[in-house]
C-alpha cells in the first residue's frame, strides 16, 4: 500500500530557522538569505559507499518514491518529497541519505509544507532558542600547525617539479564540550552571520558553504566555482584595495583557472551549450573574499535523461577541493593530509522527485559526534607553485573561523 505524502502552501510563519514541529527533531537544512528548506524527523535513511555511490543513491531514492502516493498542490523545484544527501569526499567512506518526515520550504515569498504518512498538516510552531553554557576545549586534529605547513612545503616542491599543477590540502581541529552541542544554535548563528552562504545540516554534518557545486532546475545547470582567497580586515576602504589585488593576483588566478576548467569540462558532455565567463568576480563574505565564477549550461536532449546524480558523478571531486590532475592530487592528499576527510568537501544538499536539486560543497564544515559533545571542523587551501606555507596556514585559520565562532558563541 502506497504511503501518502502531501505538499500544501503555508500561510505566514516565522523565519525558517526559527520553526519547530512538535514531536519531530530538526534533521536537515538548506538555507540561504532567508529562503531554503528545513526538515524534521527521518522517514527513511541509508548509507552508500563505493565508485557507484551516486547511481546507488539514485536507485535507492527511486525505490522510496515508488512507495509514495504524492499529492502536490504547489509544484516547482524543491516541493514534494525530498532527499537530503551528504556524500563523502572519498568513495570508500560512508555517504548519508535522509528523507525527512516533514519539510518546510520557502522561496521568493512563497512557503509550503510537505509531510509523510498523515492526513493532517503538522502544526508549525516558533522554536524557543536554547542556550548552552558548556565549556569548549580545542585540540589539534591530525596535524599540528607546524607539521601542516611542512606538508604544504612538500606539495609546493612537487608542483614545481612538474608532478602536478594544484593540490588542495585540508586540516582539522577538534572541539569538545562539557554539554551537548545543539545543531539549531549553530544553524541560527551561521544563518545570521553568513546569509549569502548555503547553511546545511545532514546527519550531523553542519556548515555554511559559499560554493554551489551544482544546481539543476529543469534543463539549466549552474555551478559556482570558488578558488583564490584573501582575508578581510574590517576596514571597508582597505578591503576594496585587497579585492582589487585578489582580482589581479597571478597565484590566485592560476588556482581559480584550474577549478573553473575542471567544472566546465565536467558538465560539457551533457550540455548543448555552456557559458564560462572569462573573468571571475570577487565574492565578499563576512570574513573572506574569494574569486568566483558562475558556470552555466543547458542540458541537451539525450536519449538517457540527465539528473543531478549524473552531474555529481562527473563533477566530484572538482579541482576546487582536490586539485589538478585529479588522480595525482588525490594521491598526494592521501599521502600528506594524514586524516580522513569523511564528508568534508563532499557534495551536500537536496534532490527532488524530478531529479532536480541543489548541492554545495561541504566547506566551512563541522561533523558532530554521535553524542553531540564533540565537533570536528575542517578547512582546506589550494596549493600551487606560488603558495607560501605561512600564508596558507593563515588562510586555513580564517576558513575555520565560521564554525569556531558559531560553536563558541551559540553552542
Q: Which of 156-165, 296-305, 326-335 has the lowest mean pLDDT?
A: 296-305
Cell 548541492 found at: 359
Which pLDDT band holds residue 23 (cuts at 50, 70, 90)?
A: confident
Specify the pLDDT at position 22.
Answer: 85
Specify the pLDDT at position 176.
Answer: 96
In the predicted model, is pLDDT for residue 254 greater than 80? yes
Expressed in angstroms, the distance from the first to the final Cα of the chain is 43
CA angle 280, 282, 284 (to 5 degrees): 150
Specify the pLDDT at position 126.
Answer: 83
The predicted-structure confidence for 165-193, as pLDDT tens digits, reads as follows 999 999 999 999 999 999 999 999 999 99
Specify the pLDDT at position 59.
Answer: 98
In the predicted model, is pLDDT for residue 410 greater than 70? no
Length of the chain equals 411
Which pLDDT band holds residue 238 (cuts at 50, 70, 90)?
A: very high
- The contacts of residue 25 (CB under 8 Å, 6+ apart) are 40, 41
The CATH-assigned architecture of domain 3-120+136-410 is 4-Layer Sandwich (3.60)
- The contacts of residue 266 (CB under 8 Å, 6+ apart) are 311, 314, 315, 318
Contact predicate 309/347, CB 8 Å: no
Among 241, 358, 349, 243, residue whose Cα is nearest residue 292: 243
Among 3, 10, 73, residue whose Cα is nearest residue 44: 3
Calculate the alpha carbon distances from 366 to 169, 261, 265, 330, 402 in Å.
17, 28, 30, 22, 10
Contact predicate 367/334, CB 8 Å: no
Mean pLDDT of the chain: 94
The predicted-structure confidence for 208-229, as pLDDT tens digits, reads as follows 999 999 999 989 999 999 999 9
In the predicted model, is pLDDT for residue 352 greater than 90? yes
- The contacts of residue 388 (CB under 8 Å, 6+ apart) are none
Q: What is the mean pLDDT of residues 149-169?
A: 97
Active site residues: 166, 211
Q: Which of 70-74, 301-305, 378-382 has the lowest mean pLDDT?
A: 301-305
Which pLDDT band holds residue 108 (cuts at 50, 70, 90)?
A: confident
**What are the grid coordinates assigned to 23, written together?**
514531536
Burial of 363 (0-12, 13-18, 19+ CB in 10 A): buried
Among 89, 29, 55, 72, residue whose Cα is nearest residue 353: 72
pLDDT above 90 covers a percentage of the chain that reads 86
Residue 14 CB neighbour total at 10 angstroms: 12
Specify the pLDDT at position 131.
Answer: 66
Q: What is the pTM of this model?
A: 0.95
- Domain positions in the chain are 3-120+136-410
Q: What is the mean pLDDT of residues 132-143?
A: 88
The predicted-structure confidence for 263-288, as pLDDT tens digits, reads as follows 999 999 999 999 999 999 999 998 99
Q: What is the mean pLDDT of residues 195-201?
A: 96
Specify the pLDDT at position 411.
Answer: 55
Chain-centre distance for alpha carbon 90: 15
Specify the pLDDT at position 305.
Answer: 86
Amino acid at each position: 500500500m502506497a504511503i501518502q505524502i502531501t505538499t500544501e502552501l503555508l500561510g505566514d510563519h516565522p523565519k525558517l530557522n526559527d520553526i519547530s514541529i512538535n514531536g519531530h527533531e530538526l534533521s536537515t537544512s538548506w538555507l540561504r538569505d532567508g529562503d531554503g528548506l528545513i526538515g524534521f524527523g527521518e522517514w527513511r535513511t541509508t548509507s552508500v559507499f563505493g565508485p557507484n555511490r551516486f547511481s546507488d543513491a539514485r536507485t535507492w531514492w527511486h525505490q522510496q518514491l515508488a512507495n509514495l502516493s504524492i499529492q502536490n498542490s504547489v509544484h516547482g523545484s524543491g516541493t514534494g518529497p525530498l532527499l537530503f544527501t551528504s556524500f563523502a569526499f572519498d568513495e570508500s567512506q560512508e555517504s548519508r541519505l535522509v528523507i525527512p518526515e516533514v519539510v518546510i520550504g520557502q522561496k521568493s515569498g512563497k512557503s509550503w509544507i510537505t509531510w509523510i504518512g498523515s492526513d493532517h498538516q503538522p502544526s508549525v510552531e516558533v522554536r524557543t532558542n536554547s542556550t548552552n553554557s558548556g565549556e569548549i576545549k580545542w585540540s589539534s586534529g591530525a596535524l599540528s600547525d607546524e607539521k601542516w605547513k611542512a606538508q604544504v612545503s612538500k606539495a609546493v616542491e612537487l608542483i614545481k617539479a612538474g608532478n602536478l599543477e594544484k593540490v588542495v590540502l585540508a586540516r582539522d581541529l577538534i572541539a569538545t564540550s562539557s554539554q551537548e552541542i545543539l545543531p539549531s544554535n549553530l544553524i541560527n548563528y551561521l544563518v545570521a552571520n553568513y546569509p549569502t552562504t548555503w547553511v546545511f545540516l545532514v546527519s550531523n554534518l553542519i556548515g555554511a558553504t559559499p560554493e554551489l557545486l551544482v544546481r539543476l532546475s529543469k534543463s539549466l545547470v549552474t555551478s559556482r566555482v570558488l578558488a583564490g582567497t584573501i582575508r578581510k580586515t574590517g576596514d571597508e576602504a582597505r578591503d576594496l584595495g585587497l579585492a582589487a589585488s585578489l582580482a589581479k593576483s597571478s597565484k590566485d588566478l592560476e588556482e581559480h583557472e584550474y577549478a573553473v576548467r575542471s567544472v566546465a569540462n565536467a558538465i560539457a558532455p551533457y550540455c548543448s551549450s555552456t557559458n564560462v565567463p572569462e573573468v571571475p568576480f570577487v565574492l565578499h563574505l563576512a570574513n573572506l573574499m574569494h574569486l568566483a565564477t558562475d558556470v552555466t549550461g543547458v542540458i541537451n536532449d539525450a536519449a538517457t535523461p540527465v539528473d543531478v546524480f549524473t552531474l555529481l558523478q562527473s563533477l566530484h571531486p572538482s579541482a576546487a577541493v582536490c586539485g589538478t590532475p585529479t588522480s595525482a592530487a588525490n594521491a598526494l592528499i592521501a599521502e600528506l593530509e594524514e586524516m580522513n576527510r569523511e564528508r568534508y568537501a563532499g557534495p551536500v544538499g537536496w534532490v527532488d522527485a524530478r531529479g532536480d536539486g541543489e548541492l554545495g560543497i561541504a566547506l566551512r564544515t563541522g561533523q558532530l559526534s554521535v553524542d553531540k559533545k564533540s565537533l570536528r571542523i575542517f578547512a582546506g587551501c589550494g596549493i600551487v607553485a606560488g603558495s607560501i606555507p605561512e600564508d596558507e596556514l593563515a588562510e586555513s585559520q580564517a576558513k575555520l573561523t565560521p564554525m569556531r565562532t558559531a560553536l563558541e558563541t551559540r553552542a
